Amino acid sequence: MSKVLIIGAGGVGRVVVYKCAQHPEVFSEILLASRTKSKCDIIAEAAKAATGHTHLTTAQIDAEDVPALVKLIESFKPNILVNVALPYQDLTIMEACLQTGTNYLDTANYEPKDVAKFEYSWQWAYHDRFKEAGLLAVLGCGFDPGVTNIFTARAARHFFDEMHTLDIVDANAGSHGKAFATNFNPEINIREITQRGRYYENGQWVETEPFEIGQAIHYPNIGPRQSYLLFHEELESLVKHFPTLRRARFWMTFGEEYLTHLRVIQNIGMAGIAPVKFKGMDIVPLEFLKAVLPNPGDLGTNYTGWTSIGCRISGVKDGQPQTYYIWNNCSHKAAFEETGTQGVSYTTGVPAMLGAMMVLTGKWTGKGVFNVEQFNPDPFLEKLGDYGLPWEEEVGGDLGM
């Protein structure tokens, strides 16, 4: 019986609340907080009606205000804080956890507000402070990063003596019927995919232009989809924790219509993150664009199709070449019917709940700051399918990479 504080009331936050509320034997009290309390209230009332959980409350919080965070945490006294707010709020929330003696979990690594760059160095720097405080901070417990890291840990634990290549493949083969929309926070999404690509090969990072490298990749029960090489944060931690990897890449699907809209957005300056003057006021173009694009949390109503995310790995086992593919396919329709959100939010929110459960039930332990691949993957994957994200694996097949 534990208390959980969830910060962030977007689509992912909604899923985390629903999934925690389904398990009152672990999450006996739930507090949902964000900048806009009315959003929290809507989610809380819907989750109560769907699950019957009675100890679900809400609060207003500015996640960049450390004293306010400390006050909220001290008043509720959670056993763990689940951060599904914006990535540039990670450090203030971690600071508040340190000041209050609270365990921490997030789904995306920190990135500065004024630079479109994300890396783990800022959060890894907190390791000694969390360790000295006797606290656990779990980084990147969504799907990618998150489940993809845990998939890789399973491969290393059970199927390889050495892993040599890793390709994380991410397809959204769904249709929401909008001319242009992002599947999670538009500000973060567009910042992420318009930066230079990067992959790891032979001990060094190789940079590419955005969308410079693409290929058709076949996804189970979906078929071939054009996929592009991007940098994604889990690559940084995986090559650190699995040093036999000689190459690590991340691929994501994009349709031609999406890329056309994205090029226009960039060409007219709407992807910019530097303030511009408008009628005497400073506005950030990308923040304005976020305000006029469809809310990712509202896309689920008519969303059809599937996501497919997995890891394709090659290496050596018992002196012989080995290949391995592990993946999950998630239905947008099924996700919406359960939680009122589309599949991308669902695939991020379910692992966040399950990671918190792993900590609260003692399956994942430690003092300091850890990425999820540093824990035993088995108890997590034993439950993942039961909680909505069944996975499959294939040993010895053609990876097609």
Which tens digit of pLDDT belongs to each residue from 131-165? 999 999 999 999 999 999 999 999 999 999 999 99
Tell me, what DSSP letter sits at residue 107? S
**363 vs 274, higher pLDDT:** 363
Average pLDDT value for residue range 251-268? 78
| pLDDT at site 261 | 72
Does 3.30.1360.200 match the CATH number of domain 147-332+390-395? no
- Rounded to 5 degrees, φ, ψ at 139 are -100, 140
Average pLDDT value for residue range 215-227? 96
Q: Where are the domains of the chain?
A: 147-332+390-395
Give, for 369, the enclosing helix (H) or strand (E): strand 368-371
Tokens 């450390």, residue?
66
- 185 pLDDT exceeds 70? no
What does the alpha-carbon distance between residue 375 and residue 366 come to, in Å, rounded to a whole number? 9
**112 vs 104, higher pLDDT:** 104
Q: How confident is the model at residue 177 (pLDDT cuts 50, 70, 90)?
A: low
Q: How confident is the model at residue 203 (pLDDT cuts 50, 70, 90)?
A: very high
Write the burial class of residue 150 (CB in 10 Å: 0-12 exposed, 13-18 middle, 19+ buried).
Answer: buried
Tell me, what DSSP letter sits at residue 367? S
Omega of the bond prior to 145 within 30 degrees of 0, cis? yes
Helix, strand or coil, per DSSP, at residue 297: helix
- 235 pLDDT exceeds 90? yes
Give, for 311, the enclosing helix (H) or strand (E): strand 306-317
| pLDDT at site 277 | 85
Q: How confident is the model at residue 299 (pLDDT cuts 50, 70, 90)?
A: low
CA distance to 7, 69, 123, per residue, from 66 (Å): 13, 5, 16
Lowest-pLDDT choice from 6-15, 186-195, 372-381: 186-195
**Winning range, highest mean pLDDT, from 105-119, 294-308, 323-337:** 323-337
Contact at 8 Å (CB) between 253 and 223? no
Share the mean pLDDT of the chain.
92
| pLDDT at site 232 | 92
Q: How confident is the model at residue 182 (pLDDT cuts 50, 70, 90)?
A: low
| pLDDT at site 58 | 98
Q: Report yes or no on whether pTM surpasses 0.85.
A: yes
What does the alpha-carbon distance between residue 305 and residue 346 come to, in Å, rounded to a whole number? 14
| pLDDT at site 83 | 98
Tell me, what DSSP letter sits at residue 76? H
